[in-house]
Each structure stands twice: as C-alpha cells, then as structure tokens.
C-alpha cells in the first residue's frame, strides 16, 4: 500500500497516518454508523477525516468484505449534497480522485478550464502518470484523447504535454540552461513581432520547477521584466491562464493554492467543487504550507475563512481536513 500512495504524501500535510489504526474496527464502526435509523455523521466524519488515505483504502477493503458493497457507494446512498461529495472524495485513492475531477471538468456542455489548469499545472510527472492510468482504467479512454477533443490550439498543446508527464522531476538546477532558456523565452516573446508560443510550451511544460525558478530570475536579469508580465502582454485566453498557473506553481505552489482557495471562498456563493478538491488533494502533501500562505496573503486564517463560509456537517468535515486555526 505504502509504495502506491507515496507520490501523494508529502511532509507538510494536515492529515497523517493514525497511530492506533485498526481497519476492521473502523469498518465495523462505519457500518454501524450507516446502518442505524438515521446516519451517525459524527462517527463517519471522525473516522474518515482522522485516517490517512492509505488507511482509508484498507478500511474500504474491510468494509466491502463485511458489508458486500463498496464504501463509497454506501456513503453515496446515505449522505447527500456537499457532505457526500467531500466524504466520497476522501475515500478515493488520490489518482482516481484527480481522474474523476478531470472528467467532471470536461463532461457536459461547458469545459471547466480553470479546474483543468489547476490540476495539470500543479501535479508532478509521477502523479500525472498515475492519474492517466486511473483515467484509462475507469473511462476506457485516454486522458489525452479527452483533452484533445475538449480544447484547442496552444492551450491544448500545453495541456497534452503536461498530461503526458513530460516535466523533468530532478531537483538539480543548471545555471547555463536557465540562461539559455531565459534567452529562448525572450526571443520568443518580447524581442520579436508576434509570439512563438511553442517555445513557451517547450520551456514551461518540460523544465522542473526548481529549474524554472532559476530561469525566471535569469529572464528578469535579461529583460528587466517579470516573466508573468511578459506572458500577460504576449499571450491571451486559457493558454495565458495555464502558463501563469505554471509560473505560480514553480515559484510557490502553496501560494498558488491559497489564491485559488481565496477565490472560491469570497464573493457570492462558495465554489465547493474547487474547495473540496484542493483541501482533499493537498491534505497529505502541503496543506500546512497553504494555510501559512493564506494567512500571509489575506491576513486571516484559512480555518476562519472556511468556517464563515460553510456550515453543518460539511463545514465540520472541511475544518477537520484543514486542521488548526493558525
């Protein structure tokens, strides 16, 4: 189990393995919570938010053996609305959850480009390999094919590169390469009449994040401008949005997510689709850092922002995932 989950577990998550873990005891308690007259939501929330994803997979296995049905189906049958969405998300393996989120973003009449951008810009190549596998297993279609039929132009080309796990993952940086790439970006944009979009894809979708950080520093030395400002001036539409998201993730991934969370918590109505996805998918990776960035950027804790925007068992579940109020 551990090896499969490893690319989804970082050291800055709010949810960790539960030390006194016993899968069959948890599965039994969940069965009782669901089986009674009226659901015991408190027990469900306590157990599911109090265990790591790897542990939840073991509970789901025990549950199926004892109850004869999938845990996620039992939760779907017993809960509703936003609480159902977030609880079902928590019991899915992370790669499957991302695959389903991508499918939802492309299904039906409109495409949710911002969700596609968020997932594809922020995941590592190793994570994307697992997501693409899960996607194919569930939908019998490749992720690339669905992206192709749902998007166009340079935006499509960049998304396909990211979906294909082409980003270098090494932590080593090379100053000469950064200088060369900065020059390529400068020549492709600021320096010429018209923009060579392919060059932007080549550098931003293939280089590792640490390498990109160095390239952006070199770019600023060379052009006197931040790469973000050049992208805003040279490009447009969803392609521009995607490249700006990549720049943000390369510079500071937790700040990128803090900004996304702030967008879905402020204004009229809460964007629960995004809120659930970020909290669930980052809960074992870097949610502690996202919380710190949220406080730094907006002057209030993420916890208090979620608390004032959600209520009931759903709100309780999100606050459990979020963890502390600092």
Percentage of residues in the chain having pLDDT higher than 90: 90
Q: Residue 3 above 50 pLDDT?
A: no
Of 137, 164, 191, the residue at which a domain comes to its end is 164
How many whole angstroms separate alpha carbon 193 and alpha carbon 46? Answer: 59
* One domain for residues 242 and 258: no
In a domain, 149, yes or no: yes
Predicted TM-score (pTM) of the model is: 0.95
Residues of 256-272 as b/e, b for ≥16 C-beta within 10 angstroms? Answer: bbbbbbbebbeeeeebb
pLDDT given for residue 193 in this prediction: 66
Provide the token pair at 106. Answer: 């492309």
In a domain, 35, yes or no: no
User: Across all residues in the chain, what is the average pLDDT?
Assistant: 94
Q: Write the CATH number for 271.
A: 1.10.220.10
Give me the domain span that covers residue 216. Answer: 175-251
- Split into its structural domains, the chain has a count of 3
How many whole angstroms separate alpha carbon 211 and alpha carbon 167? Answer: 11
**Cα-only R_g, the chain:** 21
Render pLDDT for 78-91 as a digit per residue (tens, 0 to 9).
Answer: 999 999 999 999 99
Of 192, 216, 251, the residue at which a domain comes to its end is 251
Render pLDDT for 278-314 as a digit per residue (tens, 0 to 9).
Answer: 999 999 999 999 999 999 999 999 999 999 999 999 9
In a domain, 50, yes or no: no
Render pLDDT for 260-270 as a digit per residue (tens, 0 to 9).
Answer: 999 999 877 78
Answer whether 265's CB lies under 8 Å from 305's CB: yes
Average pLDDT over residues 190-207: 88
Average pLDDT over residues 223-235: 95
Query: What distance, in Å, lies between the first and last C-alpha atoms of the chain?
Result: 32
In a domain, 222, yes or no: yes
In a domain, 25, yes or no: no
């Amino acid at each position: 189990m551990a090896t499969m989950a490893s690319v989804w577990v970082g050291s800055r998550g709010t949810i960790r393995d539960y030390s006194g873990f016993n899968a069959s005891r948890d599965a039994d308690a969940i069965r009782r919570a669901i089986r009674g007259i009226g659901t015991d939501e408190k027990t469900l929330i306590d157990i599911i938010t109090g265990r790591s994803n790897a542990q939840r997979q073991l509970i789901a296995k025990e549950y199926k053996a004892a109850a004869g049905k999938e845990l996620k189906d039992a939760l779907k049958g017993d809960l509703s609305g936003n609480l159902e969405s977030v609880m079902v998300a928590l019991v899915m393996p992370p790669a499957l959850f991302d695959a389903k989120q991508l499918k939802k973003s492309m299904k039906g009449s409109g495409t949710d480009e911002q969700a596609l951008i968020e997932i594809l810009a922020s995941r590592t190549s190793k994570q994307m390999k697992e997501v693409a596998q899960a996607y194919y297993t569930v939908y019998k279609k490749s992720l690339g094919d669905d992206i192709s039929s749902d998007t166009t132009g340079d935006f499509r080309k960049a998304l396909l590169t990211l979906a294909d796990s082409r980003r270098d993952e090494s932590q080593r940086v090379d100053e000469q390469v950064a200088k060369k790439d900065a020059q390529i970006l400068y020549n492709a944009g600021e320096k010429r009449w018209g923009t060579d979009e392919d060059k932007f894809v080549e550098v931003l979708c293939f280089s590792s994040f640490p390498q990109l950080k160095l390239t952006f520093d070199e770019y600023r030395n060379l052009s006197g401008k931040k790469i973000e400002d050049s992208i805003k001036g040279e490009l447009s539409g969803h392609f521009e949005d995607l490249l700006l998201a990549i720049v943000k993730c390369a510079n500071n991934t937790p700040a990128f997510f803090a900004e996304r969370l702030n967008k879905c918590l402020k204004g009229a109505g809460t964007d629960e689709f995004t809120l659930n996805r970020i909290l669930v998918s980052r809960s074992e990776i870097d949610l502690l850092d996202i919380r710190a960035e949220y406080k730094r950027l907006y002057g209030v804790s993420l916890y208090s922002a979620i608390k004032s925007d959600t209520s009931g068992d759903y709100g309780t579940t999100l606050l459990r995932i979020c963890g502390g109020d600092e």
